[in-house]
Amino acid sequence: MQLVCMRPTLLLGPGDTNLSSCGTVVSLLQGTVPLVPHGGVSMVDVRDAAQAFVAAMQQQGAAGKTYLLTGANMPCAAYFELVGDVAGVCICWWGFYFIFSPWGVC
């Protein structure tokens, strides 16, 4: 049996019905994330990861190799701000804590 290991980072995108990866996004928008952790997050769109899985299965010489799938790396604070921008929610930072403002005023 030939095996190719695919190691996606945080998968984001449609179809996450169990909120296994997108649960953080939902929690952030509901205001239930208590603080911003230090460090960063690496993420990949699930559709890009799916294309990479198919390509790896079709690639000659891929057997026995491991591939790390990532699309973007950023600090957690920048990730949370990006989620807020896309959702139209203002996220105001106060040290390690943040405040949500659905009115766009921080």
What is the domain partition of the chain in residue ranges?
A: 5-101
With beta carbons less than 8 A apart as the criterion, state whether 44 and 50 touch.
no
Tell me if the pTM is above 0.85. no
Distance CA 76, CA 23 (A): 15
Residues 21-40 have pLDDT tens digits of: 888 888 888 878 777 778 89
Q: Are 70 and 42 in contact (CB under 8 A)?
A: yes
- Bridge partners of 94, per DSSP, are 97
Is residue 105 helix, strand or coil? coil
Q: Are strands 40-45 and 72-75 parallel, antiparallel or unpaired?
A: antiparallel
Q: Is the pLDDT of residue 94 over 80?
A: no
Is it the case that residue 50 has pLDDT exceeding 90? yes
The position carrying tokens 């449609």 is: 14
- Residue whose token pair is 């294309």: 51
pLDDT over threshold 70, residue 100: no
What's the pLDDT score for residue 30? 82
